[in-house]
Amino acid sequence: MSAVDKALETQLTNIETKTGKTRDELGKLVLAQGLAKHGEMVKWVKETLGLGHGDANTLVHIARQSAQPAPPASSDPLDDIYTGTKAHQRPIHDVLMKRIDEFGDFEIAPKKGYLSLRRKKQFAMLGPKTKDRFELGINLKEDAEHKLMKALKPGGMCQYVVALHAVDEVDDDIFSIVKRAYDAAG
C-alpha cells in the first residue's frame, strides 16, 4: 500500500471514529440527500456531521465513487488509454510501436495513461498527453537533438520528450534516438 493509500485509509478510519458510522453508512447517508453538486454535498456533510472541509471533501469523493458503476475492464490496455478525445492519437502509437518492435526484445508495462517500455531499465514512455498532443518520453543520458524534442530537467522519468500531433511527424531521426535509448537500456 502506497503512502497516499495509507493516509487515505487513516483519514477514513478517523472519519468513522468521529461520526460513529461506517464508511458504507456514511456513503449511503451522503447520497440519500439527493444533492447533485459536489460542493452542496460537502456543505451538507460539514453542517450535518460536523466534519472539517478536508474530511467532508474526502467523504463526498468516496461516496460518489461508490455510486459510480465500475467501468468494464478491457482486455487491451490500449483501449483504456486511447479512448474519448484521445482515440484519434492511436495511429501515432501504432506507428511508433511497429518500428520500436523491430529493435528486439523489451517489456511493455501499461500504466494508467501511457505505456512504459523497458529492457533492464526504462528506455521510453509513450501515450497521449492531452487531447491534442501525444508524447514520446525518451531515457537517454547522452545528448540528442530533434526539432520536436525538448530536454527535460534532471531527475525526472525521462531526459527528453517529443511532442507529436500527427503520424507524419514521426521520422527516422526520432527512431534513431529511441534506438540509442533502447541500446543503452539493455
Q: What residue spans of the chain are helical by DSSP H?
A: 3-19, 23-32, 38-49, 53-67, 77-81, 90-101, 172-184
Cβ-proximal residues to 144 (8 Å cutoff; 6+ apart), any chain: 138, 160, 177, 180
Cell of 8: 487515505
Q: Is residue 108 a contact partner of residue 116, using CB atoms and an 8 Å limit?
A: yes
- Domain boundaries, given as residue ranges, for the chain: 3-67, 77-184
* pLDDT number for residue 1: 66
* pLDDT number for residue 74: 55
What does the pLDDT average to over 39-58?
93
Cβ-proximal residues to 62 (8 Å cutoff; 6+ apart), any chain: 12, 23, 27
Q: What is the band of 76 on the pLDDT scale with cuts at 50, 70, 90? A: confident
Task: Report residue 128: phi and psi, to 5°.
Answer: -70, 130
* pLDDT number for residue 157: 81
Cβ-proximal residues to 186 (8 Å cutoff; 6+ apart), any chain: 119, 120, 121, 123
- Give the integer Cα–Cα distance in Å for 50 and 81: 40
SS3 136: strand
* pLDDT number for residue 121: 92
- Give the integer Cα–Cα distance in Å for 36 and 103: 52
The residue among 111, 109, 112, 126 whose CA lies nearest residue 181 is 126
